[in-house]
Structure 1
Amino acid sequence: MESHLYTIKALGNAIANRDSETGEHNYRVTYFSLCLAEQLHLSSQSIQSLVKGAFLHDIGKIGIRDNILLKPSSLSNDEFTIMKTHVEQGVRIVNDIPWLQDSIDVIRFHHERYDGSGYPLGIAGQQIPIIARVFAVADVFDALISERPYKHAISYNDAIKTLKQNSQGFDPLVLSSFLEISELEYNTIITMEKNELEMHLIGKLSNYFEV
């Protein structure tokens, strides 16, 4: 299991780097997801599946052309349609790997929204697997506080305000639980350098994986 964990970590970082992100994004979003899952008292098995999916959520972006993936401005409707295919491409990549089967719920459903406004299926509410509902909150929050080629990072307070303004897209219990822990966890890791952040995350993962 130790070699598997480091393999998914390496794959996730490779995709993040291609997407003009850094390893910090994958570590932070996995950390926030893990803390939120613990706050919700999810089972160890669910947390293991969530962590795998968190590292690999965007693996399907390996199949998206650079002119779309790295575009420094808003995507056109046609480009966004292509971008959305990264979800099913990601599912296909891991589908034949037995020890990654439990990551598929996060990969396939992390862009679904509680009100049914997401993609690729437009499912809503409890139809969305719980680990995908957890990851969605962490992913949107980390995207808001992250610098990207097409946007500036925003402050913690502004990110929380945005989550609340778009609360219809999130499971209310999951969002409420995140709001309870978010400031503490944000302040815990936001100033960490990559190596320190990685070691801090691995320390928490040692409760669920052999590391």
Structure 2
Amino acid sequence: MHVPDGFLDAPTSAATGAVAVAAVGVALLKARNELDDKTAPMAGLVAAFIFAVQMLNFPVGTGTSGHLMGGALAAVLVGPWTGVLCVSVVLLVQSLLFADGGITALGTNIVLMAVTTVLVGWIAFRLLQAVLPKRLSLTPVQAGIGAFASVPVAASVFVLLYAVGGTADIAFHTLMTAMFGVHTLIGIGEGVITCLAVGAIIGVRPDLVYGARPVLARRELVIKKPAVA
């Protein structure tokens, strides 16, 4: 979903740039409440993982491919505010060094992939945690569902932005149908990757997963008494 230069007009790109700056600024302040001796090292690893996995595309149809966006994954692993920062850094590096996403469209890409996917993925994840049994084994599935939901929503936000400031004359319903359909398929891949990644970490160190902390806090400490000879 990396938006290149020229897809949106200057006023729309400037507006999304302002929103992106504001969102990153708030995230910088709020992330202080999430970062600790466990989350801080994880943030760097999460950013590196998302950067690497975004380089790998998986096919979703003839001539169409998708890649991990990583917003929901980052939110579950290190917290939503830190997740916004992780994905924003990845998008900045990709734009400046690899020309993946336009420089003038950087604000748009941050709004779509670092803000929208984190927000939607985290809200869906927390809602599932609230209504489903508080089991650690469900955390990867909840994260995967949140990741799946975040992708078509981000695609829909792009369509709305394009309807406001798109540089080509494309019918709204045509663009929405194409974007939503393709990104629903991409969302399946996003959900699977997110579920597997979160599950792998929970299997080894569940305390490193930010989104699993409420579940871990509810677990009772069971002390086994030594057997009497």
Is TM > 0.5 for Structure 1 vs Structure 2?
no
Return the TM-score normalized by structure 1.
0.32
Q: Which has the higher helix share?
A: 2
Return the TM-score normalized by structure 2.
0.30
Rg larger in 1 or in 2?
A: 2
